[in-house]
Structure 1
Amino acid sequence: MGSGEGSIPLKIRLFVYLSHALSTWGDRMWSFGVGLFMVIISPESLRVTAVYGLSMGTAVLLFGALVGEWIDRTPRLKAARMSLIVQNTSVVVCALIVYTVITWKTEIQAAWPNEGLLILSYVAIILVAILAMLGSIGTNIAVQKDWIVEICGDDKNLLASMTATLRRIDLCNKLVAPIATGQIMYFASVGVGAFFIAGWNLVSVFIEYILLWKVYSLVPALKNKKLWNGEPAEQEMETLKSNQGDDLDVEGHDPITSSNSIGDAEKLNEDASVATDEETKLKNETEQKKEKKKDPFWIKMFSGFIILYRGWKTYIKYDEAFAGLGLAALYMTVLGFDNITVGFAYTQGINESIMGVAMAAGAITGIVGTFLYPFIGKRIGLERTGLFGFFFEVMFLCLCVASIWAPGSPFDPFLKQSADTITVCNLPSDNGTGLTNGNLTSVPYNVTNSDVFNKTIGNTSLSVAGLQQTMTGLNTTGDQSSCAEQEADRGKHSLISVWLLLAGIIGARCGLWMADLTITQLFLEHVKETERGIVNGVQTSLNKLMDMLKFIMVIAAPDPHVFGILILVSFFFIILGWISYAKYSYGVRGHLFHFDKIRKCECSDTRNNNQVEEVIGD
């Protein structure tokens, strides 16, 4: 075993770390910005954002295994190069399409009948974003799952150190990138933010490739061929056969007689047996790889669903299955910093700058949870740590439930024609605002400040002041008073509701990570080595399916005034997850809390009191 990070040159590690930092910074900027882009190009509801999220989840289930297989088949440098190019160029193209839609949305709407070109633009954004995500998956698999192992070789200490450093870099970028991107989008503009993300990825792809090429040149192990199609394995089998044949030649010369040593004969027999076992093992591996290679394309595409179907019996036989179901339930929620919640908070008046800070605060809270997890686990045990993790999460998410009825909440499930909208009556068709689709235009009520309103209403120069000037030219006094009253109501809008929502989500990240890490360790400790792959594959598929169910739920109820229903459903699923984990804990430990010890303490106290009374009486 090696001696740690000193076993390879420092510059190789620095090249790997710097390349990873550039890649994850671009990923984190894009994942933050895309949530805002989706709600800006479609401010009337969260449906486009939900379709985007659902498409991402479906693409992972359908094409994730195919990307991994392609990485295995392709030479290392070529795989990394192609993944980088697809990832970065797709982000560039997608950001430019988003900027075009934001800037010229009105013209795009009017270009084709029934807004056909606008819908086509949405489809193009989602498809290109899927390519970017698959490229990101390919880069992660190629570098973090393959290159790092070859770089470290047999040095497990070095492998642990490098993977931990890569994780720290990712968490730091997750903390800082949303803040930086939010400030750019807020103090400059959303268009500038899109251009900045596009420019970063365009420049970054060249730097990342140069760094990876240097690593490839400095590490000879990366040039070795991969054991994929069975040919290297067959060569190894021929080597074993030849070695075994040499041993038989030695036996042909009657080594027992010549050496008069029974021990030598037994050793030769053992060597032959080992060689046979190695040959059988290699044959089995080769046959498995050939079978995998012969699988039809559609089986490979639906591998995520097939794993879930085939592996369910293996998965459910473990007691930890109920803990895993509890973990999967945590994915069926809008109470997290995904595109849905970011978009909803934006429509409620939270600008890009504050949103970035809130996401960073959530990351910090999650990191605190990762530190509390081992500290608490050593004192109360692993199973109870999970119970407390769920408890902390549910406790903070009660703030999110309270936000539904707090001042400023848009919740109104029976709303048909919203009274909480800004009505622009009889706008002239040539006023330069772009609001020409009819005589009545409605915009979400809770877009309160003038900056957000500017960016949401028409992607043009219409401001609150301009809207008020337009209102002065209305022909009807009643319409004037109605618009003025709505403008006054909008100015009085409270942000208490959305602040409660964000506070609950930020606080819940601590308990969420405690529960997540607990369940992950339970699977690592109790699942058989030969079944880890299938069990973890089932767990991943369950998590992704619950995540997709969340987006389907949002597609069915995309309006901000029914977002409270989504909060309640999400809270219900998290409670179900807690109950499922509690069932596992009860089955393993026989109890949830030490009520028996409490009763013993109470009985002991009662006996002591009685003895004291008897002594006093005597």
Structure 2
Amino acid sequence: MEGDAAIEGGQLAPLLGSRWGGSGSPVPDASLLRRLYAGHALARWGARMWEFLVGLYMIRIWPGSLLFTAIYGVVESSSVAVFGPMVGTLVDKLTYLQVLGLWLLVQSLSFVIAGASVTALLVYDDLKATSFPVFMALVFLTNVSGALAALSTLAGTILIEREWVVVISCGHPPAVLTGINSVVRRIDLSCKLLAPVFSGLVFSFVSAQASAAALALWNVASVGLEYWLFVSVYNGVPALAAENGRRRAADVVLLPSPEEIAAPPPAERAADWRTRLSIIPCWESWVVYARQDVALPGVALAFLYFTVLSFGTLMTATLDWKGIPAYVISLARGFSAVVGIGATLLYPAVHSWVSTLRTGLWSIWMQVLILLF
């Protein structure tokens, strides 16, 4: 009853101050939640800056054509599709702190390298004519860095939004998880609103080189603070350490014995086509996904999103190619983020009113109707 009253009053800290599933162990207070939100905001800010700017950079690097923009989009999307399952497996195998350090290091280093490469390409704009191999090497480095940044961002999303948030809300009413998820999503959309506006203003009224340098400097300056914020949350939430210990114990149990490692597999198993396909790193992950109850609804939702226009890399570059200033594009993108922020404010109320299933069904059908009419 006290938890319900706290939810109705919008007071999240007292809810999280109750017991963890009756264990009696200390739980994070409001200050730890604020650190979690602050670290998430810092990490998402850099990612949203790059997401908006990369299309503008590519159209500047190769003027008059969307070729480089399209190539970058293919490289980034293909990397996530192919190596995303491997990232998820890696998150499961490593400890929370190992994933945290690897995520922040790779993401920050990738954005710094990408920002430096783009800065060099923009400053030496005649490099394509004077030294084409160097020009292509820098473009290649930019694409690879962007792909690595996308993969590391995926690892961070899994760690914070799929692991930590669930563990923190464990033992509490579902409304607690809903509330934390809404705040985390609201932070991401706020960064989607504000980071492009800031980047677009720098890009339009200072220079493209200055925006690339600002991106690199931001990641250098913020990575240490991000790590400290997340580590303080980890140290302040005993449930995270306990869950981390259970994960490590499960890994030890699943390790094969030396006899199993030395024994050759049966010949008939080697001939099985499923065994051969399991060599592919992402195959097992797709098999696991296909067995889930949400597999077909997920595919249906993906097909629905094929019809949605979004301010992605290619659309941003196309609008810039047509002569629309970068700050105008950023403001339009910000407006779309405002609508998304409104959804995060509306969802908890609708969820508590009509349940999760009806909320999802109503949302999808409303989206279909809006797209049709």
Kept in 2: contact 1:5–1:161 (CA 8 A): no
Kept in 2: contact 1:179–1:360 (CA 8 A): yes
Q: Deviations over 1:504-562 (max 9, x none)?
A: xxxxxxxxxxxxxxxxxxxxxxxxxxxxxxxxxxxxxxxxxxxxxxxxxxxxxxxxxxx
Question: Counterpart in 2 of 1:342?
Answer: 316
Question: Counterpart in 2 of 1:125?
Answer: 142
Give the secondary structure class of the aligned counterpart of 1:30.
helix
Q: Which one of the candidate residues 210, 218, 225 is aligned to 2:228?
A: 210
Question: Counterpart in 2 of 1:5?
Answer: 16
Shift of 1:226: 3.7
Separation in 2, partners of 1:160, 1:94: 36
- The verdict on how the C-alpha distance between 1:13 and 1:366 changes in structure 2, with shifts beyond 3 A counting, is closer
Question: Counterpart in 1 of 2:303?
Answer: 329
The yes-or-no answer on 1:301 pairing with 2:282 is yes
- The verdict on how the C-alpha distance between 1:30 and 1:2 changes in structure 2, with shifts beyond 3 A counting, is farther
Shift of 1:13: 0.9
Q: Deviations over 1:95-151 (max 9, x none)?
A: 11011111113134322xxx3332222221111111111111111222222223333
Q: Which runs of 5+ in 1 are unaligned?
A: 235-293, 396-618
Alignment of 1:105-120 (within 5 A): 105-111=125-131, 115-120=132-137
- The verdict on how the C-alpha distance between 1:327 and 1:163 changes in structure 2, with shifts beyond 3 A counting, is closer
The yes-or-no answer on 1:191 pairing with 2:202 is no
Shift of 1:303: 4.8
Q: Which one of the candidate residues 143, 146, 169 is aligned to 2:187?
A: 169
Question: Counterpart in 1 of 2:332?
Answer: 358
The yes-or-no answer on 1:65 pairing with 2:90 is no
Kept in 1: contact 2:46–2:215 (CA 8 A): yes
Question: Counterpart in 2 of 1:135?
Answer: 152
Separation in 2, partners of 1:86, 1:39: 26
The amino acid across from 1:124 in the alignment is: L
Give the secondary structure class of the aligned counterpart of 2:63.
coil
Q: Compare CA radii of gyration and give the structure with the larger one.
A: 1
TM normalised by structure 2 equals: 0.76
The amino acid across from 2:281 in the alignment is: K
Give the secondary structure class of the aligned counterpart of 1:44.
coil
Shift of 1:300: 2.3
Q: Which runs of 5+ in 2 are unaligned?
A: 4-14, 19-27, 255-274
Kept in 2: contact 1:15–1:211 (CA 8 A): yes
Q: Deviations over 1:310-362 (max 9, x none)?
A: x3xx78x99x95x7665333443583211111101101111111111010112
- The verdict on how the C-alpha distance between 1:166 and 1:90 changes in structure 2, with shifts beyond 3 A counting, is same
Separation in 2, partners of 1:190, 1:228: 46
The amino acid across from 2:34 in the alignment is: L
Shift of 1:227: 2.7
Give the secondary structure class of the aligned counterpart of 1:335.
coil
Separation in 1, partners of 2:252, 2:81: 30
The amino acid across from 1:47 in the alignment is: L
Give the secondary structure class of the aligned counterpart of 1:227.
helix
Separation in 2, partners of 1:231, 1:82: 19
Question: Counterpart in 2 of 1:16?
Answer: 36
Question: Counterpart in 1 of 2:267?
Answer: none
- The verdict on how the C-alpha distance between 1:48 and 1:226 changes in structure 2, with shifts beyond 3 A counting, is farther
- CA RMSD, Structure 1 to Structure 2 (Å): 3.4
Give the secondary structure class of the aligned counterpart of 1:299.
coil
Kept in 2: contact 1:61–1:304 (CA 8 A): no
Separation in 1, partners of 2:361, 2:308: 26
Question: Counterpart in 2 of 1:76?
Answer: 96
Shift of 1:393: 2.3
Q: Which one of the candidate residues 146, 154, 160 is aligned to 2:171?
A: 154
Kept in 2: contact 1:62–1:304 (CA 8 A): no
Question: Counterpart in 2 of 1:479?
Answer: none
Separation in 2, partners of 1:336, 1:28: 14
Question: Counterpart in 1 of 2:257?
Answer: none
Shift of 1:44: 2.3
Kept in 1: contact 2:49–2:199 (CA 8 A): yes
Separation in 1, partners of 2:246, 2:56: 42
- The verdict on how the C-alpha distance between 1:128 and 1:298 changes in structure 2, with shifts beyond 3 A counting, is farther
> Which gives a bigger RCO, structure 1 or 2 (Cα 8 Å, sep 6+)?
2
Shift of 1:389: 2.8
Kept in 2: contact 1:83–1:135 (CA 8 A): yes
- The verdict on how the C-alpha distance between 1:233 and 1:387 changes in structure 2, with shifts beyond 3 A counting, is same
- The verdict on how the C-alpha distance between 1:335 and 1:231 changes in structure 2, with shifts beyond 3 A counting, is closer
Separation in 2, partners of 1:202, 1:142: 22
- The verdict on how the C-alpha distance between 1:324 and 1:302 changes in structure 2, with shifts beyond 3 A counting, is closer
- The verdict on how the C-alpha distance between 1:78 and 1:359 changes in structure 2, with shifts beyond 3 A counting, is same
Shift of 1:204: 1.0
Shift of 1:392: 2.0
Separation in 2, partners of 1:38, 1:79: 31
Question: Counterpart in 2 of 1:47?
Answer: 67
Separation in 1, partners of 2:67, 2:361: 39
Shift of 1:28: 1.1
- The verdict on how the C-alpha distance between 1:392 and 1:56 changes in structure 2, with shifts beyond 3 A counting, is same
Name the count of aligned residue pairs: 325
Separation in 2, partners of 1:393, 1:329: 13
Separation in 2, partners of 1:368, 1:82: 33
Shift of 1:367: 4.6
Question: Counterpart in 1 of 2:6?
Answer: none
Give the secondary structure class of the aligned counterpart of 1:43.
coil
Question: Counterpart in 2 of 1:390?
Answer: 368
Q: Deviations over 1:463-514 (max 9, x none)?
A: xxxxxxxxxxxxxxxxxxxxxxxxxxxxxxxxxxxxxxxxxxxxxxxxxxxx
Separation in 2, partners of 1:297, 1:202: 39
Question: Counterpart in 1 of 2:58?
Answer: 38
Kept in 2: contact 1:21–1:170 (CA 8 A): yes
Separation in 2, partners of 1:181, 1:198: 12
Q: Deviations over 1:436-473 (max 9, x none)?
A: xxxxxxxxxxxxxxxxxxxxxxxxxxxxxxxxxxxxxx
Question: Counterpart in 2 of 1:28?
Answer: 48
Kept in 2: contact 1:147–1:222 (CA 8 A): yes
Kept in 1: contact 2:116–2:213 (CA 8 A): yes
Alignment of 1:443-522 (within 5 A): none
Separation in 2, partners of 1:381, 1:14: 28
Kept in 2: contact 1:56–1:130 (CA 8 A): yes
